[in-house]
């Protein structure tokens, strides 16, 4: 088993995943895909069967949205695995840094609102292989290097430059409003699918 949420004892696989392929984490009190990179609370679930683990991984993968343009870029176009080094670093950064710093809520919400538009444009772009390669070498790889060096602000600036470039390339004028941010469930954000807070 890989070191991801699906192999962590805190991810409860007993009641199945939700409609988004997420399972409940008893440690962080939030939902995660079984495929998400493990956080600092990771504790290996030694008693978990490989079939239970594999079923959870398959279910999470089947429910993941192709609206995530970074996943589309790295996995669908550049043919890297869904658990490749770059995407794992970026997911970990999203889960354990961006979501815990309110000043970056707008980036997460923008990824969920603007991201699917970028994703659709990228998928149908005849030059998608060239564009994906350029985005990887000019933005994704440098952002990951900056994160590794704990230069988080610089990484965010570089990432924002990539988003601006993509919006320019595809003529995207969609804006994220303060209401969008206020109503968003930040714990579920950054996946390319905008989700509002659940109202009891």
Structural domain harbouring 155:
69-188
Distance, CA of 176 to CA of 181 (rounded, Å) = 7
Q: What is the DSSP string of 153-185?
A: HHHHHHHHHHHHHHHHHTT------HHHHHHB-
Helix (H, G, I), strand (E, B) or coil at 30: strand
- pTM, 2 dp: 0.67
| Tens-level pLDDT at each residue, the chain (200 residues) | 678 999 999 999 988 887 668 899 999 998 888 988 889 999 999 999 999 999 888 888 766 655 789 988 998 899 888 778 999 999 999 999 999 999 999 999 999 999 999 998 998 899 999 999 999 999 999 999 999 999 999 999 999 999 999 999 999 999 999 999 999 988 888 888 888 886 54
- Residues 76 and 155 reside in one and the same domain: yes
Residue 195 lies in a domain: no
- Is 10 domain-assigned? yes
Last residue of a domain, one of 29, 47, 63: 63
The answer to whether residue 86 sits within a structural domain is yes
């Amino acid at each position: 088993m890989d070191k991801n949420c699906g192999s962590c004892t805190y991810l409860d696989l007993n009641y199945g995943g939700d409609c988004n392929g997420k399972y409940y984490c008893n440690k962080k009190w939030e939902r995660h895909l079984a495929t998400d990179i493990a956080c600092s609370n990771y504790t290996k679930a030694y008693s978990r069967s490989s079939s239970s683990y594999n079923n959870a991984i398959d279910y999470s993968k089947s429910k993941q949205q192709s609206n995530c343009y970074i996943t589309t870029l790295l996995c669908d176009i550049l043919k890297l695995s869904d658990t490749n080094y770059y995407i794992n670093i970026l997911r970990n950064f999203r889960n354990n840094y961006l979501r815990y710093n309110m000043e970056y809520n707008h980036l997460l919400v923008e990824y969920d609102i603007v991201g699917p538009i970028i994703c659709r444009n990228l998928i149908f772009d005849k030059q998608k292989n060239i564009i994906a390669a350029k985005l990887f070498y000019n933005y994704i790889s440098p952002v990951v290097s900056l994160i590794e060096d704990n230069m988080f602000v610089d990484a965010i600036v570089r990432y924002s430059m990539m988003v601006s470039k993509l919006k320019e390339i595809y003529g995207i004028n969609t804006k994220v409003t303060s209401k969008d941010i206020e109503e968003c469930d930040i714990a579920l954000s950054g996946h390319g699918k905008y989700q509002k807070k659940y109202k009891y």
